Structure 1
Amino acid sequence: MNVECLALPIANRLAQEYQQQDASALQFFTHNPYHIQSYQERLEWLRGQTYSHREQLAEGLYTFNKKIGNHQEALRRIQALKNPDTYVVIGGQQAGVMTGPLYTIHKAVHLIQTAKRLSEELQAEVVPVFWIAGEDHDIDEIDHVYWLTDKETRLHKERMNLNKKGRVSASGLPLNEEACTQFLESFFHAQTETAETGQIRKLLTSTASSSDNVAEWFARLMAALFGKHGLILVESSLPFIRELERPVFEQVIEKNEQVAHLLLKAADRISTAGYPLQLQVEEHQANLFLYEGQDRLLLERHADRFVNRRASYSREDLMRLAADQPERFSANVVTRGLMQEHLFPTLAFIGGPGEIAYWAYYREVFELFGMQMPIVLPRMSVTLVEGAQVRLLESLDLRLEHVLNGFAEWKRDWAAGQEPHPLQKQFSATREQLLSMYRPLVEEVVRLDGGLRGLAEKNTNLLLEQVSFLEERLIRSLQQQDDVEHMRVQRIEASLFPDGGLQERKLSFFAFANKYGLSLVDRLVKAPFAHDGTHQIFFV
């Protein structure tokens, strides 16, 4: 199995320096994620904690995972959670249509591999848990999929009509059968028919038809892909989860001002250390959402009242609601980590660069609630490279690291070295002819009315710009049609660095599965990836 590693820069500097184990970034966290001693210390701390709800948690997880068709191996891992010496590694994602971009798949692989490695190193059972952020109401972030079209030279974005209304969460958004069918037909129409297409179509359609909402479709797909590797799925809006979270909701309401104060102090420390602020924290933030009907609305604290856009509550009102109707509450990006820490005996949380930058704010908040921040392990980043792309790279004498880091510069230098298209000379001559014909007219206009000089010059420039615009469009079109070299560059860019970013942030897993089969998941799970912060290259 061919895996290579590359050291790539991360746009988020705090996450970059944390990954590099720089002391200036590590100071905001409890543990170094790359030291085995950190995991031993965290394990000893967890062994001193009591999780009286283990039985209830396991029963609820078993019921949910059984419902979504999760594999017997995942169900076995859930039963193991009843054992006081079983621990978890956890990470999650929004419930993207068709599992969203590739990094969702990579995160699940990382969870599974990390749980296996830690079980062996610590001689304790560690199980992987995937937290589905089904309560998120940013539907525009989850309703689309990207794939390649036009001989794999162009990135296409297809949105699924989810009929979003108000601020409804993904877990409350019904999955419209007609919209889903149209979306899947668009996807398969754009894919080449292979021996794997029938199985992929069956999986996507059967899981969709069995699902009541977008979050459930996501859960069923993830269970089908990763269940046999023991991945446990949990969805944040499940009633039993809300019931178990009740004590944390109550504490967040009670200690609301203290939480806000600690976040502001953390922001000040992060800023003083020279890092840009990832979270916009303000004194009035309550760091909770409250459901009003189907709408998930952010709470803010003003004086002694907690308000959203529809209602106003006293602290006592919210405490009564938390006691009687915990299902109406929902965590935000700050309090979600507290919920996970309360629910699960968590050895490590696996997160991407943005999540790491968020968690830099939280250490003192965890301590306020009598908790310890878990180990925050940077998510593995992966690029899938196909054989055809390897051959294209060789034909262009282009190294993969230049594609993933510095491709814009390489492309500019490459374009400068290309022979101009013959038509470019003809366009240049045409511009000269137009100028020679138009200048005498402009001079005559200016002679008759000097006040029109500016307008005449602007008119001349517009005329030349139109010719240049036509030239650019035509040359680009001809290059796309006829120039093999340009086509190769476009294919490399679209498949490995689409929209100027990593492949995993755009492309869909199922386009790859259509070529290589669902067994691609098994190959990824078994791949010898390095979890050391380097970017992983997986040669499909």
Structure 2
Amino acid sequence: MIKSKVDPACTGQFSQLFLDYLDEKPALAEFYSHFPRLENFGRLIEEKKIPQENRDVLVTTLQKQYADFSLSEDFEQQLKLLGEKNTFTVTTGHQLNLFTGPLYFIYKIVSTINLAKKLAKQYPENNFVPVYWMATEDHDFEEINYFKLEGKKYQWNTNQEGAVGDFFLDDSFKEFLKSVEFAPEFFVEAYSKSKTLSEAVRKYVHHLFGEKGLVVVDANDPAFKKIFIPVIEKDILDNIPNKKAQEQTDKLEALGYKSQIFPREINFFYMENGLRERIEKSGDFYHVLESELKFETSEIKALIQSNPERFSPNVVLRPLYQEMILPNIAYIGGPAEVVYWLQLKGVFDYFGVQFPAVMPRNFALILDSLTAQKQDQLELKDSELFVDYIAWKKEFVAKHSSLDIFLNQEKEKLEEVIDRSALKAKEVDDTLESAYASAKVRISKIMDHLSGKVRKAEEKRLEIQIKRMDTIRDFILPGGSPQERVENFMKFYLEDESFIEMLIEAFDPLDFSFMILKPKDDKRGNQKTS
């Protein structure tokens, strides 16, 4: 593939807060620790402190989670490395989308793997392990129960509730699987030989990225939750995280930015046997919403100690949970994730947990040969792929029209004729001046109407070129949304099984530009940043 780059701002896909973070605006410095530049990771390594007992729990738990896998010696060593003091992780997290969901899931993981490789080269005295944190505790099944491929939606429907990682791949899933007969064998094997959704996701992610050293972590584990007990207590009993997160949120809003997440007094769900519902305190009791469960203060204190696995953090505390379990120095996420992490540094500071480098995943648009050819035919710069379509069409028609579609010269000449005639008429009767002024307005409207007809005629004459742009837009914005947020990676993998290797070669995790990737047969060659 041939790679070119554009400024993320030109795509119109990112918030101002995200763009200002990438630009390192001084006003945002207090909302993070170190900006993700290669030279800053030395300090992040020095500052990262994690108890050895936490490392031991991490290694033991992961070995248990991978117990049924046939692991290579290299991968087993990768797990053991996590127990060593000079080993650090770089992490991305994502929901358990079916068949990987949208493209950007793959982009997240490739960015994470490449960052680990880059850090290993820069800091050879340390080990760096890329991690995929599975959102197994998430309960928003409707967000993950489908994927789209070539404009068609493939969806699994089930009545199961609770944490999606625990969803059984039952008969309804087997029926759904039959509709995806084109899926590569490793997907079919992962789903057909797994009991739960989390097990299947771990299998296919390991198949795709295990040889690259990627470790998959399922945080829905009692051993991990025990580490988190102090935070669970401070949140549920004292509401401290809410206060700290709200302070940061208020500061960001005072700077004119919009919040991405909204902290609550209690930032935990109660999770058990197909149930994951918010906890709220009312009077002397802690209630689990959408259920009849309620606890007195003494009861919930005891439950936190005896069964911490029943308490599932929401988006406000999941990052802290991750950083207390992993020897992590960088989190790679999408633009919305990067923004909401900026609301959380006060929470990290309160609990004495180092805030990692928060960095965006790589962003990319993949063009096929036909789309790249149409771009050439229209002489579009890469940055012009993202322009407003209506504005582009208006400008394109005006530029390539065989005549002035605005009829400017004609309008000027008519106005001159009316003005000269008005002056003569005024000498005869002053009242005629207003009549000429009204006539001038009417004629202007008539000319505007004719101009519209001329424009439509020119649009028809330029129909082939305009349709080229329509085709380009449909390819890069399927359904009106960015390609990476809609298309499944099978769109490209089924045509070329080296697709992931191509991404690994093209992506630079520390380059926050927006990439355009084109086939090598694109005759334009590598293009400079637009």
Q: TM-score, normalised by structure 1?
A: 0.78
Gaps of 5+ in 2: 402-459, 520-530
Answer yes or no: is 1:169 the counterpart of 2:163.
yes
Answer yes or no: is 1:533 the counterpart of 2:512.
yes
The equivalent residue for 1:509 is 489
Aligned ranges 1:337-356 → 2 under 5 Å: 337-356=319-338
8 Å CA contact 1:160–1:179 kept in 2: the answer is no
SS in 1 for 2:148: strand
Label 1:146 to 1:41 Cα distance change in 2 as closer, same or farther (>3 A).
same
The equivalent residue for 2:198 is 215
Aligned ranges 1:265-304 → 2 under 5 Å: 265-282=247-264, 285-304=265-284
CA distance in 1, matches of 2:175, 2:395: 45
The equivalent residue for 2:414 is none
8 Å CA contact 1:3–1:528 kept in 2: the answer is no
Query: In the TM superposition, what whole-angstrom CA distance separates every residue of 1:324-372 from its partner, at most 9, and x where no partner exists?
Result: 1122111110111111111011111112111122111111111111212
Measure how far apart 1:93 and its partner are.
0.3
8 Å CA contact 2:169–2:197 kept in 1: the answer is yes
SS in 2 for 1:267: helix
Measure how far apart 1:266 and its partner are.
1.6
Query: In the TM superposition, what whole-angstrom CA distance separates every residue of 1:439-458 from its partner, at most 9, and x where no partner exists?
Result: xxxxxxxxxxxxxxxxxxxx
Measure how far apart 1:392 and its partner are.
2.2
SS in 2 for 1:306: strand
SS in 2 for 1:67: coil
Aligned match for 2:132, one of 130, 133, 151: 130
CA distance in 1, matches of 2:148, 2:496: 18
Which amino acid in structure 1 is aligned with residue 114 of structure 2? Q
Label 1:343 to 1:101 Cα distance change in 2 as closer, same or farther (>3 A).
same
The equivalent residue for 1:4 is 4
CA distance in 2, matches of 1:224, 1:357: 31
Label 1:179 to 1:138 Cα distance change in 2 as closer, same or farther (>3 A).
same
Measure how far apart 1:296 and its partner are.
0.3
Which amino acid in structure 2 is aligned with residue 138 of structure 1? D
Measure how far apart 1:15 and its partner are.
1.3
Which amino acid in structure 2 is aligned with residue 26 of structure 1? A
CA distance in 1, matches of 2:63, 2:370: 43
Which amino acid in structure 2 is aligned with residue 314 of structure 1? E
CA distance in 2, matches of 1:252, 1:109: 34
CA distance in 2, matches of 1:14, 1:61: 36
Query: In the TM superposition, what whole-angstrom CA distance separates every residue of 1:32-87 from its partner, at most 9, and x where no partner exists?
Result: 22251x311111112x5423121221122123235356655433211111111100
Aligned residues with identical type, % of pairs: 25
8 Å CA contact 2:50–2:324 kept in 1: the answer is no
Which amino acid in structure 1 is aligned with residue 141 of structure 2? I
Label 1:24 to 1:81 Cα distance change in 2 as closer, same or farther (>3 A).
same
Aligned match for 1:333, one of 306, 315, 318: 315
Which amino acid in structure 2 is aligned with residue 498 of structure 1? P
8 Å CA contact 1:81–1:87 kept in 2: the answer is yes
Answer yes or no: is 1:27 the counterpart of 2:30.
yes
The equivalent residue for 2:477 is 497
Which amino acid in structure 1 is aligned with residue 167 of structure 2? L
Measure how far apart 1:397 and its partner are.
2.6
Query: Which deviates further from its counterpart, 89-98 or 174-183?
Result: 174-183
CA distance in 2, matches of 1:70, 1:134: 22
SS in 2 for 1:52: helix
Aligned match for 1:368, one of 338, 342, 350: 350
CA distance in 1, matches of 2:73, 2:392: 49
Label 1:330 to 1:70 Cα distance change in 2 as closer, same or farther (>3 A).
farther
Measure how far apart 1:133 and its partner are.
0.3
SS in 1 for 2:349: helix
8 Å CA contact 1:253–1:319 kept in 2: the answer is no
SS in 2 for 1:217: helix
Label 1:57 to 1:104 Cα distance change in 2 as closer, same or farther (>3 A).
same
Label 1:315 to 1:207 Cα distance change in 2 as closer, same or farther (>3 A).
same
Measure how far apart 1:181 and its partner are.
4.6
CA distance in 1, matches of 2:177, 2:320: 37
8 Å CA contact 2:157–2:172 kept in 1: the answer is no
Runs of 4+ with deviation above 6 angstroms = 415-419
Count of residues in Structure 1 that have an aligned counterpart in Structure 2: 456
CA distance in 2, matches of 1:70, 1:25: 44
Which amino acid in structure 1 is aligned with residue 156 of structure 2? N
The equivalent residue for 1:44 is 46
The equivalent residue for 1:61 is 62
SS in 1 for 2:267: strand
CA distance in 2, matches of 1:235, 1:316: 30
SS in 2 for 1:212: coil
CA distance in 2, matches of 1:206, 1:393: 40
Query: In the TM superposition, what whole-angstrom CA distance separates every residue of 1:358-410 from its partner, at most 9, and x where no partner exists?
Result: 11111111111121211111221122222232112122333332223444532
CA distance in 2, matches of 1:530, 1:5: 14
Measure how far apart 1:289 and its partner are.
0.8
8 Å CA contact 1:286–1:299 kept in 2: the answer is yes
Q: TM-score, normalised by structure 2?
A: 0.79
The equivalent residue for 2:19 is 16
CA distance in 2, matches of 1:68, 1:510: 24
